[in-house]
Structure 1
Amino acid sequence: MPLLLDAIASSDRMTASLAGLPRLVPPHRSPPELELPLPAYLRSIRDNGLGGFPRRAFEELVTRRSLLGRSSLVLNDPEAIRRVLVENQANYARTTGTLRILRPILGDGLLISEGAAWRHQRRTLAPAFTPRAIDGLVPHIAAAVTGGMERIAAEAAAGPIDLFTAFHRLALEIAGRSMFSVGMDQYGAELRRFIAAYSVKIGRPHLLDIVIPPGWPVPLDWSRARFRRRWIPFLDRIIAARRASTRDEGRSGDLLDLLTAARNPDTDAPFSPSELRDQVATMILAGHETTAGTLFWAAYMLALAPELQERVAIEARGADLTDPTGCQSDGRLPLIRAVVDETLRLYPAAFVIVRRALGPDSVAGHPVRKSDIVMVSPWVLHRHRGLWSDPEAFDPGRFLPGANPPARFSYLPFGAGPRVCIGAQFALTETVLSLARLLARFRLVLEDREPILPHAVVTTQPDRLARFRLIPRVPVSP
């Protein structure tokens, strides 16, 4: 025990440098040497979008290919990315395919709204996502993480567990408690069934989603409409139950309180019931998918790098996690935050940002015509050979205090510009706290010997479920 306490006391010195640790290059599929033929490229969009980027996309700053009579550009040039996402972002809208796929489940919430509707929502929501407001949600996050760790511990006591599914349940519990002040025991299973039913088929992009003009129905639209007719009453039922519940004395305000109290700064108008429902759907779905995936990939990386895992555990066990307010940003957990940041570099949840040009433009000297497709892919950008040193290696040292920060617009795990993810701080807070609590309590050992590869349709997920043994650590004496 004295040796452990001495190690904890010296954790700052240990996290100052990761020199000497074995270099970890996680398993991955090599990109195709050449552009895929159009049929194969369209299949990759439907089945695994990561396979559609050829090798030159990871080496050149701008690549272009023909796509159904238009040009499709992949941007890695930081100035080109700034042009599309910041300087002239009003000229670049969501694609028809994106709207067809996401609107049935997200409605017209912040993630997919456009123009004046988006500006109204963003301005109305902004006060609910300030650092101070997020700190007010931390008690809900902490309670959900505590309960989630107990469930994981109970499951792990019986043998190896499927961590990806466990993290999905944990992230959903965090989202539910933060949104409604209550756990998701009553609604979680039904919500997971909705998500699974949507993602298996009707949430996947198909050729007709891409080529048929807006306003013209495609066959899957009927299935998506049927889904939405069941989905809306389900969300309304959860919101109504939360509003009918008696507020406990001393209960911290939740995200639904913040959304209900939000007012448009121009008109002082609140969200309408349908607008509120769409924001609830967006926050729960987008938030928990991102967190679950990031936690899984971080756990996988640490299982592949046991020496690094031990340093992370020492940092976690030496920190006061009973007061998690701001723990991801106030310097208490620099190595764990660096592990999360590096995980988001190699496995960004939103692997591609796709926009359709509303009018002509020029980016980094490349002409863009009306209706051209412009892509900024964090998956490609974060592995670009001209922007990162040893880009395929997992190296949290890139993000430790004192390291040179990434070049502007070369690291975009939450997007950039006016449409940067409004919930980024919330996501980092829950991810850092969850990972710290997990590693403080367990040593992770991967049971599977076959490599786990990234697979992306909407978000970046493992290509199969993998089992881990969670070995309890000796408790730290007070």
Structure 2
Amino acid sequence: MAMPLEVPVAKAILYALLPILIACYFLLRKGKTYVNLPPMVEKGYSNWTGHVRFILAKGDEFGLPWIPNMKKLADSCSNGVMAVYSFGPKWLTRPTYLVKDPVLISSMLTSSKVKRFSNLMEASKATSGDKHITALTGDELKRHRKLLTACILAKRPMARFVELLTAGVCKYLDTLPTPTVGRPLDLNLAKSKAVGILVVEAFSNFSFGINISCHSEDPVDVERCKKLHSALQFMFKVTGERLVAGPLNFFLKRDIWTNYKLWKLGTFIRREFILPALHQRKEDMSSGVQVPDDAMTMMLESGDTDDAPFSEEEICDEGMVMVQAGYEATAYTFLWLVYHLGQHPEHQELCFKEIREVLSKHPPGSHLTSSDIEELTHLHCVISESMRMQSINDSAAARDTDVDLELGPYTIPAGSTILAVGKCNSLSEESFENADQFKPERWKNDPTGGAKRPGAVNIPFGLGQYRCFGQPLALVALRTLAAVWIQRYRFELLSEDIERTYHATCSPGNLPIRMFPRCVS
């Protein structure tokens, strides 16, 4: 009589046969036949490795090297839509397509058939929780957008934000060594991380009501601020890594050690910063103590007859997202703005004259207010042109679709990821006259920047229902940072040879500048 196989042996045989069984399933299953799929990029691609194989062939260093390759990929194809991955096992990857035609990009991003990029939702949940605007869809997303619009983008909180950021920038600039005649101040603005720290401090105060500063006289406060900054850096790095579309993401999001560290850092930020500030603010409001008109106060006062107010969990999660998004995106966009203004000092001087003219309405020594910021029209044109020339979103706006989506002559199959590569259009002569030249005047009295063709030719904040909610706040932050900096200093580039670094965003790896103090009146 034959003895039964030992359990470990039976498992070994089962595991050995499993790949064969899976392969047979995908070979034999009957699927829908598509006759008008976008063409597959031929060189360096396969069903299993997608552009991961392209990355390895190019030998790019790790740190999401697929991002700078997106535009190269799109430029290499004459079609408006192309396949990056063909069909493979759905448990490992999704069919993925690049879209570069601006009309098709606009159609895709505004379509009701697309939904938020699942990789972004998962990465955002891992760093910020489940109850925030980047992790929600449907009615809950609409509710959060409505409440946040009243809490953050209204006049009172916006004025408070400008006040906080202005104070932070002035305090930082006051700590810099005083330049003397013939000896200006040299500073590597990217490597110093100063702008990121400034933005973290302003957004933390605005979002949580926490007054922290790396320039505090209290060493405990300085250490807490550094820990918060370090935690946000790690979270943003992981978010960027997990935005990768394709097989690589399957393994990245199952990194047990990274997931544990994310949980630990998220718990640290909530317990050490948000919850104590939230409970103190509740106590102050119930006791009749005067509280500032910041995001936390407005979120605690949120809600109307149609919508329930934010819960503690929702306030925590939304605060986490505000600080993370503001920290990296706003700081890096400002660095690119400094880079372009350093290349074009004539526009720097025009902005300075505009700032002086607006400030002349106030007593000497006054700071710009939120209403003053709105009057800086040339500075706004400069910011718009800087984002056109070099958006931090250097790769693509991504969406998923669970139903077949018609894009021009092509059908994007259900269960696909679609990447809109807007960079192909913002620097194209087909889209803008003298597209390779820095011309802020193209935005004067023209919200399209003089675009020569229709569609999404320039979308630094995205488009459609999943566009960046914080666009107005980001623009106010950029104007405030730039206005205070230009008011205090004239600056020039020490080198135009800068390297680009990629995580979730594109930033200058180094930005050496020389600053000359102005006469502040």
TM-score category, normalised to shorter length: 0.7 to 0.9
What amino acid sits opposite 1:366 in the alignment? Y
Distance 1:300 1:317, change over 3 A: same
CA contact (8 A) 2:126 2:259 kept: yes
For the 8 Å contact 1:58–1:380, the answer to whether it is kept is: no
Counterpart AA for 2:143: H
Question: Which of structure 1's runs of 4+ aligned residues deviate more than 6 A?
Answer: none
Q: Structure 2: how far apart are the matches of 1:256 and 1:399? A: 35
Structure 1 Cα separation of the partners of residues 441 and 77 of structure 2: 23
Q: Does 1:318 align with 2:360?
A: no
Aligned residue number for residue 160 of structure 1: 186
Letter in 1 for 2:500: P
Name 1:210's counterpart in structure 2. Answer: 246
Which of 187, 190, 193 matches 2:227? 190
Q: Percent identity?
A: 17
| Equivalent residue, structure 1, for 2:33 | none
Distance 1:319 1:355 in 2: 42
Which residue, out of 146, 151, 159, partners 1:123?
146
Evaluate the alpha carbon distance shift between residue 430 and residue 316 of structure 1 in structure 2; reply closer, same or farther with a 3 A threshold. same
Aligned counterpart, 2:401:
357
CA contact (8 A) 2:103 2:455 kept: no
CA displacement at 1:111 relative to structure 2: 1.6
Kindly state the Cα deviation for residue 119 of structure 1 after the two structures are TM-superposed. 3.0
Judge which range, 297-306 or 225-234, deviates more: 225-234
Distance in 1, Cα, partners of 2:79 & 2:487: 41
Distance change in 2, residues 1:392/1:134 (3 Å): farther
Q: Which amino acid aligns with 1:39?
A: V
Q: Which amino acid aligns with 1:227?
A: L
Query: 1:237-276 maps to which residues of 2 (within 5 A)?
Result: 237-243=272-278, 244=280, 246=284, 251-263=291-303, 266=306, 268-276=307-315
Give how far 1:205 is off.
3.4
Return the letter of the residue paired with 1:117. Answer: E
1:171 Cα offset (Å): 1.3
Following TM superposition, by how much is the alpha carbon of 1:143 offset from its aligned partner in structure 2, in angstroms?
Answer: 3.3
Alignment partner, residue 199 of structure 2? 171
Quote the residue 2:30 is aligned against: none
- The one of 43, 59, 82 aligned to 2:106: 82
The total of aligned residue pairs comes to 433
Q: Judging changes above 3 Å, is the alpha-carbon distance between structure 1 residues 443 and 62 closer, same or farther for their aligned structure 2 residues?
A: same
Partner of 2:419: 375
- Amino acid corresponding to residue 269 of structure 2 in structure 1: F
| Counterparts in 2 of 1:166 and 1:84: CA distance versus 1, 3 Å | same
Quote the offset at 1:72 in angstroms. 3.2
Q: Equivalent residue for 1:278?
A: 317
Which structure has the bigger radius of gyration? 2
Task: Determine the C-alpha separation between the residues in 2 that align with 1:298 and 1:472.
Answer: 19
Cα deviation for residue 202 of structure 1 reads 7.1
1:162 CA displacement: 2.8
Contact 1:161 1:467 in 2 (8 A): yes
1:423 corresponds to 2:458: no
Q: Which runs of 5+ in 2 are unaligned?
A: 1-40, 46-50, 88-93, 180-184, 214-220, 360-365
CA RMSD of aligned residues (A): 3.2
Counterpart contact for 1:59–1:385, Cα < 8 Å:
no
* Distance in 2 of aligned mates of 1:265 and 1:225: 40
* Deviations 1:70-128 (CA, angstroms, capped at 9, x unpaired): 6533333343223322232x433313x33343321122221232334323322332322
Q: CA offsets, 1:111-167, max 9 Å, x none? A: 23233432332233232244xx14433234223323323313422537422323121
Which range moved further: 246-255 or 364-373? 246-255
Task: Give 1:59 shift.
Answer: 8.3
Q: How much does 1:377 deviate?
A: 2.9
1:456 equivalent in alignment to 2:477 = no
Q: Is the 8 A contact 2:70 2:421 kept in 1?
A: no
Change (3 A) 1:217 1:172: closer
Q: What letter is aligned with 2:337?
A: A
Where in structure 2 are the equivalents of 1:25-104 lying within 5 Å? 37=45, 38-42=51-55, 46-47=64-65, 49-54=67-72, 56-57=74-75, 62-67=80-85, 69=87, 71-88=95-112, 90-95=113-118, 97-104=119-126
- Any conservation in 1 of the 2:97–2:418 contact (CA below 8 Å)? yes
SS of match in other structure, 2:175: helix
Instruction: Kindly provide the amino acid, as one letter, of the partner of residue 269 in structure 1.
Output: A
SS for the counterpart of 2:98 is strand
Equivalent residue, structure 2, for 1:11: none
**TM-fit CA distance, 1:250:** 5.6
TM-score (norm 2): 0.74
- 1:230 and 2:265 correspond: yes
Contact 2:163 2:369 (8 Å CA) reproduced = yes
- Structure 1 pair 251–408 and aligned structure 2 pair: CA distance change class (3 A): farther
Separation of aligned partners in 2, 1:291 and 1:385: 28
2:335 corresponding residue in structure 1: 296
The range that moved more, 159-168 or 58-67, is 58-67
Secondary structure in 1 matching 2:255: helix
Change over 3 Å in CA distance of 1:435–1:82 after alignment to 2: same
C-alpha distance in 2 between matches for 1:102 and 1:426: 20
1:373–1:201 Cα change, 3 Å: closer
Contact 2:162 2:370 (C-alpha < 8 Å) held by counterparts: no
Which range is displaced more, 374-383 or 429-438? 374-383
1:105 paired residue among 115, 127, 134 = 127
* Aligned mates of 1:91, 1:188 — CA distance in 2: 39
Look up the equivalent residue of 1:325 and give its one-letter code.
S
After superposing the two structures, state which structure 1 stretch, 69-78 or 432-441, moved more. Answer: 69-78
